[in-house]
Amino acid sequence: MDENSVQLYPGVPRTPMYVWHGSADPLVNIGPVRETVDKYCAQGARVQFDVIPGADHGTATVLGVGRAFSYLGDRFAGIPAPSNC
């Protein structure tokens, strides 16, 4: 599992990323997600990080997927990637 962990990967993405997470996710704690995003931001990655208040794992997936597709659509349309690092 460590070999496939985004959190433990030593590199930094070179492409912009959209990351979303539910604030009440019992399966994946938000702390390590924030730490990973902060690490990427500190090393110059462009990351748009959205926290969905009160959402658990499943609810965050449903609520975030539309935002993710919008983010991707904007990239394909040539709109520069936002970042809230």
Measure the N-to-C terminal CA separation of the chain; round to a whole number of Å: 27
Return the pLDDT at 16: 96
Return the pLDDT at 5: 85
Return the closest-CA partner of residue 5 out of 46, 42, 33, 26: 33
Return the pLDDT at 59: 96
Say whether pTM exceeds 0.85: yes
Over its length of 85 residues, how does the chain's per-residue pLDDT go in tens digits?
888 888 888 889 899 999 999 999 999 999 999 999 999 999 999 999 999 999 999 999 999 999 999 999 999 999 999 999 9
Backbone angles phi, psi at 40, to 5 degrees: -60, -45
